[in-house]
A and B are shown apart, each in its own frame.
Chain A
Amino acid sequence: MADKFAPAGVPLVDMRNISIAFGGIRAVDDASVDLFPGEVMALLGHNGAGKSTLIKILSGAYKRDSGQIFINGEEASISNPRDAKKYGVETIYQTLALADNVDAAANLFLGRELMTGWGTLDDVAMEAEARKVMGRLNPRFQRFKEPVIKLSGGQRQSVAIARAILFNARILIMDEPTAALGPQETAQVGELVKQLKADGIGIFLISHDIHDVFELADRVCVMKNGQVVGTARTTDVTQDEVLGMIILGKCPPGAIPGPGALKIAA
């Protein structure tokens, strides 16, 4: 995408012409989106607009029917979650995707356990690491021995976030990261996003909260019926214009229209 609105350089992620269909429904239809280092790209749209599906293709949960993904300018083959993690893509799912019956440390390292020299689980080392990272995110968290189902919504959320940042992610996907949180914790997540941005991590942010988006995101990409309506810098459009994109699919002058933009007789 030669894009005068986008920052210069090689994009960290460049998803081109992605499509996927479930049965007869085209959940994502020829969608393209890119992301630069240290940037927050918000994905907006109604329920069922295809944001989560698009992002699950990047995280390896779904396999795309067509289209290409480039990471750092090189084509990436992502067909399962393990592949995605190999490229430094970490995801915080809306459902959190935690194994409820095991403790925080086990969840943080699920699929990437630390092992002792004997080939057994190194629970002590994993707990120590978990204490370190949780100490950064949520210093009051002490319930390391309990299954995560016993934790509060906010605590569970911080476990999910900790898991994503533990492995030096380069690309972070946050699907409704503040849905379960109160105002104070939401602010905390905002701080975290800014800190990660400063570290040069690229973030895809899926959110329904348009105020959040304007505060945190550098650019927005609006989807409707599986198609991209348009992409814009948050400084170039107003909140009302973005709402117009979400609801009507009407692309304002400050945005680059995508295939899903309402065709108005020009």
Chain B
Amino acid sequence: MGIIIDRRLNGKNKSTVNRQRFLDRYRKHIKKAVSEAVNKRSITDVESGSQVTIPTKDLSEPFFRHGQGGRYKQVHPGNKEFISGDRIKRPNGGQGQGSGQGKAGNSGDGMDEFSFQINHEEFLNHMFDDLELPNLVRKQLQDATEFKMKNAGFTSQGSPDRLNIIRSLKSAHARRIALGGGARKEVKALKRKLRELEVSAEITDTEEVEQLQIRIKELNNKLKKLPFIDDFDLKYNNMVKVPCPSNKAVMFCVMDVSGSMTQEIKDMAKRFFILLYLFLQRNYKQIEVVFIRHHTAAKEVDEDDFFYSRETGGTIVSSALEMTRDIIDDRYSPNDWNIYVAQASDGDNWEGDSSVCSKILTEQIMSKVQYFSYVEITDRAHQNLWREYESLGDQFPDQFAMEQIKTPNDIYQVFRRLFEKKETA
């Protein structure tokens, strides 16, 4: 006979520490797997974790063991047609003969790769490891224009729609008990006395009886006058306004779709946007994405059109910036929204427009946005837009960043550099 114990309620995550140790140890591999996955993802697919695969040889736990060669005898079951003395061709590489390891190697020998799943959280953690948005201001509490009403106990003043009935009646009840207690007790006592008088053998003293009855009546009247509910009893739910930080962000994806932008360049730009999106998603509860594409004129489009529709024509960057500005003014008040702008282009712009861009940015956009990032996807020499933007970088060192991307491999690095922790000087 044994003892039976229900252990199901005990913690089930005993292995968490060991799991974490393992992940830490293979951080390098996991990072690599994560950055590969990022390149393949679509912008909408950010909720899942990822499969990580590590070559077994990198995480082997070696034991002394025999290699191929020498003399072995091995017993197998299930003989069908062999008789003693039969000769069999040696299977290639000696694999088929299971030279003593088929049995001993229960810890996964023979597997070429070890794969496992990391969850969403870990996936992103690895991706954003030691990254931080520059000037990431969750809007300062005092600036916050958004408030939430929160329950904060009860008050005795308020508007009728906040009346708390239970509290009010409770307090009325208490008041009635408190005020009527004495009288009620006396009535009780008097009544008992009256009854005693009525049933006593002696001749009843009518006068005394009468007096008692009057007194009882008096007291009862007094009790009746106690109001059932009084203004004094009313209790109201108290609500207070709590400022809450703005949790919303809007991200503007601005991209040049003129003839000079090939699909390859667009794909690279897409990665860049995805990464920004993922990053915002991690920091804000609600994110909206606005896609603006432009050639000589700008247009707000949906994601599909943004990445895949084809356009031709020249390039006027300022049109897109103007549109961005207009949309911000229209729909995304900087008081409510954290605004991020990501612009991708191959660097082409119509001569003479670049200075306009710079002007719009400095005067009308930069003051409203948290961050403006620009990537130039090209391997040619920089053109006037880049030079124009460079001066912006000096003006807004914390809010403005730009990088050049040459190959798809640069993307992740560029992203990192764009959002690297700025050391607080």
Q: Do A and B bind each other?
A: no
